[in-house]
Chains A and B, each alone.
Chain A
Amino acid sequence: MNRMPVDADVTYYGRPMIKPTVWGVDIPLYYYLGGAAGAAMTLGAAMQLASRDPIRRRELRKLSARCHWIGIIGSSIGGVFLIHDLGRPSRFLYMLRVFRPTSPMNMGAWILAFAAPGAISTGLFINRRGLLGALGEVSGYVSGLFGAALAGYTGVLVSNTVLPIWQQSRRWMPVLFVGSAATTAASILELFAEDEPARRVTEAFGTVGRLVEIAAAKKVEQLASAIPKVGEPFRQGAPGLLWKAASALTIASFVVSLLPSKSMKKRRLGGLLGAAGSLCLRFAVHYLGDASARDPKATIQLQSHELPERVS
C-alpha cells in the first residue's frame, strides 16, 4: 500500500490527472432552459391546486398559461440542446433502455421523459372539458412534480463526477440549481404585465428563488474554497469573472425587485437582471468545473482532504 504522504507539488509535468467535460455550450443552456421549465411547471401545478376556487382560477389563469408555455418551450428546446450535444444524437432514446439509479444522467433522462410530455399535455388539455380535461389536470400535477426534479437533478448530475469543484461542493449544488431555476422562471414571468394577484405570486416565488440562489452560490464557493487549489478558479480567469458577474446580476435583480415602485419598467428590469444572472451562473458552474479538472493539484488536494471513513 502507498504510505507516502500526498504531495500536491508533485505532478506529471503539470498535466491534468483527470479529463475535463466533453460538453459544449449546449449543456449549460440545457441546465438553464430545463431549470426554468421545471420551476415553471411546479409553479403551474401549485396554481392548479389553488384553482379549485373559481375566483382564484380566473385571477391566475393568464399566469398559469404562461407557466405552461415556459414548461413546454423550456423542456423541448432544452431537450434539443441535450440531444445536440450527444456524440450520436440519433441514439438519444438509448438513455431509456435501462433504469439505473447510480447514473444521474439516466435518472435525468427519465425525469425529462415524464416532465416534457407532461408539460405539453398540460398545456394542450388543462382547460378542456371531460376526459381530456381530466388528462390535462393529471398531467399538470405530474409535470409539477417531475418539474421540481428536472430543476434539481442537474445539480446531482454535475456533483456525481470527479471534477474537483463540482464534487467538493456537492452538498449545495442541487440547492443552487433549484434556486437558479426558480429565479429564471420568475424572471421570465416578470417580463410580462400581470394583474395584482398574479403579480404577487411571481414576486414571492422570485424573491425566494433569488435569495436561495445567492445563498447557495455563497455556500458552493465556500465549500470549494475550503481546499485552496480547488477554490482557485473562483478567483481567477474567465470562469471566475463569469461567477462574479452572475452573483452581481442576481443581487442587483434582488435589490431591484425589492424597490417599492409598481412600475412595469422596474419589473422588467428585475426580470432581465435575474434571467441574465442565472444564465451567467449556469455557464460559470460549467467552466469552473472544467478549470478545476485541468489543474492536477486540485485533484490531488481534494483527495488528500477526503477522509477515508467518508468512503462507505
Chain B
Amino acid sequence: MASTLSAGEATALEVRAGRDDTVNRSSRKGFFTDTTICIGCKACEVACKQWNQLPDDGFVFTGMSYDNTGALGASTWRHVAFIERPVALSTQDGGAFSWLFSSDVCKHCARAGCLESCPTGAIVRTEFDSVFVQPDICNGCGYCVMNCPFGVIDRRESDGRAWKCTLCYDRLKEDMEPACAKACPTDSIKFGDLEVLRETARARVERLHENGMHEAYLYGADAADQPGTEGLNAFFLLVDKPEAYNLPPRPVVPTKLVKETWTSFAFAALGLVTVAIGSVFAARR
C-alpha cells in the first residue's frame, strides 16, 4: 500500500468507516458474567492487561484469599473476587463452607454516572452501547471517579487521566470479542448481543433453580431489576447478596437524585442575592 493517501482517498475511507459505524449501531453489546462457572483462574485479568497494555498497579499481597488484585481501578479493568463463606451452597454436600469467584468489570450502565458527570464530554456512548473514555479529551478532573456507583473508574496517577474498561472497543471494531471473554476457559464471561445474553441468562437461572440452586439470581439484568442504573450492559449471575461480591445492593446514578439539590441551590443563590441587597439597603442612614 502506498505510504501516503490522497485527500480523496482519505475522505473515502472516512465515509466508509462512518457507514460501518451506522451498521454496527443496530446491536447493543455486553457481558453476561455467570459467576457459578467461574474457576478464579484470572485469565481474564491477564488477557485484559495484556491486550490493553495496562501498567501494573503495585505488587501487593493483600492476604485476602487469593485476591491480590483487590479492586477495579485505572489499570485494572477485570478483577476476580474470591469470596470465602462459612455457608454451604444449597447444591453442595459436605461442610459449611463455599468458595465463590466472580470476575468484576465495568457495567457499562444504561444510565452511566461517569458519562453524565463528565464535564468535557470525554466519556461517550459508543455504537455498541458501551461507555468509552476518549483519552485524547479527558482532562483528568476526577469527577467521574466519584460518580460511579460501582467504584470502577479511577484516575491513573502516572498519566493524569481517567481510565476504565473499554469493552475492547478496538477489538469490537474488528468484529472480535473482548479479550477477557476470549480468554475465559469456562465461558463464565459471555460476550454478545445484549438481548441474546439476557435470554441466555434467564434460561441459566431457571436451569440452576431446577437443579436445586435456589439462591441463583441475576444482578442488574435490566431496568426493572436495577432502576437506579436502568440496567447494566454487563450484568451478573450471583448466588449470594451483592454486598458479598462488593457490588452495591441498590446502586443509583447520582444524577437521578440531584434535582432537589439544584432546587436548594436555586433557593440558596437567590437567598444570597436577597441578603446582599438587604444588607446594603437596611444599612441606610
Contacts and interface: CB of A to CB of B under 8 A. Distances in A.
Interface of A: 1-4, 6-8, 10-13, 15-23, 39, 42-43, 45-47, 49-50, 56, 60, 85-89, 91-92, 94-95, 97-98, 100, 102-106, 108-109, 144-145, 148-149, 151-153, 155-157, 159-163, 167, 170-175, 177-179, 181-182, 197-198, 200-205, 208-209, 212, 293, 296, 299-300, 303-304, 306, 308, 310-312
B217 A39 contact: no
A94 B139 contact: yes
Those 7 A-B pairs whose CB atoms lie nearest each other, nearest first: A87-B140, A87-B160, A12-B246, A91-B139, A204-B279, A200-B283, A106-B119
B255 A102 contact: yes
Counting chain B CB atoms within 10 Å of each CB, the highest count among A11, A49, A173, A208 belongs to: A208
Contacts of B269: 148-149, 151-152, 174, 178
B281 interface: yes
A103 B256 contact: no
A36 B168 CA distance: 45
Interface stretch (B2-10, B49-57, B144-152): B144-152
B121 A97 contact: yes
Given A15-B246, A42-B273, A171-B260, A4 B241 contact: yes
Contacts of B254: 159-162, 167
A85 B148 CA distance: 20
Contacts of A39: 272, 276
A17 B119 contact: no
A15 B120 contact: no
A42 B285 contact: no
Interface stretch (B29-37, B110-118, B180-188): B110-118
Nearest to B123: A103
A48 B280 CA distance: 10
Interface in B212-255: 217-219, 224-225, 227-228, 238, 240-252, 254-255
Given A1-B217, A161-B147, 19 more contacts: A2-B217, A2-B225, A8-B243, A10-B240, A17-B248, A46-B279, A50-B284, A95-B119, A97-B137, A100-B119, A153-B265, A156-B262, A160-B258, A178-B268, A197-B283, A204-B282, A205-B276, A303-B248, A306-B257
B268 A43 contact: no
Most buried by B among A151, A174, A175: A174
A8 B140 CA distance: 33
Contact of A103 (B143, B248, B265, B285): B143
B138 interface: yes
B64 interface: yes
A109 B120 CA distance: 10
A155 B241 contact: no
Contact of B148 (A162, A173, A174, A204): A162
B178 interface: no
B276 A45 contact: yes
Given A100-B121, A102-B255, A300 B249 contact: yes
Contact of B227 (A105, A151, A311): A311
A94 B245 CA distance: 37
A162 B147 contact: yes
A18 B146 CA distance: 8
B264 interface: yes
A103 B116 contact: yes
B248 to A, nearest CB: 6
Name A's interface SS. Answer: helix
A98 B142 contact: no
Contacts of A152: 265, 268-269, 272
Given A177-B268, A300-B243, A311-B228, A170 B260 contact: yes
A64 B106 CA distance: 52
Contacts of A202: 279
A310 B227 CA distance: 11
Contacts of A174: 261, 264-265, 268-269
Nearest to A145: B273
A26 to B, nearest CB: 11
B81 interface: yes
A161 B146 contact: yes
A149 B255 CA distance: 19
Contacts of A50: 280-281, 284
10 contacts: A7-B241, A22-B145, A56-B284, A94-B137, A160-B117, A172-B264, A175-B267, A198-B283, A202-B279, A303-B252
Given A152-B272, A311-B252, A1 B225 contact: yes
Contacts of B272: 39, 42, 148, 151-152, 178, 181-182
B208 interface: no
A1 B215 CA distance: 11
A19 B140 contact: no
Contacts of A201: 279-280, 283
Contacts of A306: 250, 252, 257
A88 B150 contact: no
Contact of B113 (A162, A172, A303): A162
Contacts of B73: 19
A200 to B, nearest CB: 4
B277 interface: yes
Given A162-B146, A200-B283, A201-B279, A19 B252 contact: no
B257 A49 contact: no
